[in-house]
Amino acid sequence: MTASPSFSLEKDPLKIVDKWLQEAIEKKVQRHPNSMVLATISDTKQPSTRVVLLKSLSLNKGFGVFYTHYGSRKSIEIKSNPFVSAVLHWDQLGKQIRFEGKAIRSPVKESDEYFVNRPWKSQLNAWVSEQSQPQADPSELIARAKQKAKDLSLPDPTKNNKDISESEIFSISRPPFWGGYRFWFAAIELWEEGPDRFHIRRRFERSLSPLDAFTFKTGPWKSWYLQP
């Protein structure tokens, strides 16, 4: 079992990440081919995982972006410990990508530009959902959403509203407690399924040095193969 030329010759793992992600999207291997399991760790060293969507990938700078509530468990843990890891897995393609690195908040403009293109009901949800906080019943969230919509002179979000455009007519400003994270990759591990468990694994690593609140200076990628 030998690695494919693109797998073995490429020096920039992000190009392979982008290629595999586009393949997963085009082949519609799952409903959300950009869904990745993100792992964080608390200040008491308790790990936790959840699925988030990798919404964008900066090939030239070397980071991915996901969005969430800044009061969520993941955000609280990232604030305490910015080192995170994640995995994209496509069983039908026989491919997997592991990421390790640091997560930092996205610039305000970056979060605003993403938020304005969300459906208005999703925008509304960002305002009323106190993510990760307990509630007595899911109906509480619906009630808050209906009240918030009324306060903003919006339609009842619980109704179908088929004749209303999701994004063109209504637009809600982004709440300051909701936004993006830039996931700067310090390590990327590519896995390709092989016959009889003779899989191909290639690990890439590079250094990250802070330049400003949102950016890292990245070193050259170094890579080697790992036994499966």
Say if CB 88 and CB 195 are below 8 A apart.
Answer: no
Among the listed residues 76, 126, 137, the one whose alpha carbon sits nearest the alpha carbon of residue 105: 76
Q: Are 68 and 86 in contact (CB under 8 A)?
A: no
Residue 104 in tokens: 């930092």
Point out which residues pair with 189 in neighbouring strands.
98, 203
Collapse the DSSP code of 88 into the 3-class scheme (helix H, G, I; strand E, B; otherwise coil) and give the result: strand
Q: Look up residue 158 and give its DSSP letter.
A: T
* DSSP-derived 3-state class of residue 169: coil
Q: Is 206 a catalytic residue?
A: no
Given 197, 201, 202, 203, the catalytic residue: 197
In a 10 Å sphere around its CB, with 0-12 CB exposed, 13-18 middle and 19+ buried, how is residue 92 labelled? exposed
Q: For the purposes of burial, counting CB atoms within 10 Å of the CB of 21, is it exposed (0-12), middle (13-18) or buried (19 or more)?
A: buried
Record the tokens describing residue 215, joined without a space: 């950016």
Q: How far apart are CA 139 and CA 121, in angstroms?
A: 16
Catalogue the active-site residues.
197
